[in-house]
Amino acid sequence: MGNATHSDYQAIAQSMIQVMGKITIKPDDYAALKDGTGWALSKVYPEDELPDLEQVVRHLHELRGQITSLRDDEYLETKELIISKAAPALGIGEGTLLAQLLAIGLDENLQLLAEENKEKIPGIMSLYLTHNRSFLTDTVFLGFPFHYFYSAVFLLVFFVGLCWIYCYRTDKLHARLNFLEQID
């Protein structure tokens, strides 16, 4: 990571925060990503202000253990303070979900990245960011990915086909059983 630029650190931190927002993430993976996000933030945050940010993060962790409601004023103010300080450094809008995840996804010691987490993070990112893409997704048709158009048309045709098959088989069954419908 010796050649990484400011925007590279921002991009990796944003990606790790997005993965932390997944509901299916394992606790060990979440801890590794928190460690990595803090480390990436420390690379783009002004060095002289970093101890103050770490102190605010530490205070948020203490409050989290003490509060009985997520609507606690001091907790919300501390969380907003972290967002206002850290989100701009990572190129994240303060009112976004990413900023909310950032505030709760930081460890107290931002500058350290454990060696085991450094090795785990690429595998974690690969696991949680895998998208099963195909030519249906990559091909654009009428301004949309082809699979959207294909699904919409296919499902309509399939529905009409099912209705036709139902009516055809019902008519055949009625004819075989000599069932006559009475029309009044």
pLDDT digits (tens, 9 = 90+) for 130-169: 666 677 777 888 888 888 888 888 899 999 999 999 999 9
Residue positions counted in the chain: 184
Contact call for residues 89 and 9 (beta carbons, < 8 A): no
Contact call for residues 105 and 17 (beta carbons, < 8 A): yes
Delimit the domains of the chain by residue range: 6-128, 135-176
Contact call for residues 78 and 60 (beta carbons, < 8 A): yes
Q: Walk along the chain (184 residues) and give the pLDDT tens digit of each residue.
A: 568 898 999 999 999 999 898 888 889 999 999 999 999 999 999 999 999 999 999 999 888 888 888 788 899 999 999 999 999 999 999 889 899 998 888 888 888 888 898 899 998 888 887 666 677 777 888 888 888 888 888 899 999 999 999 999 999 999 999 887 777 6
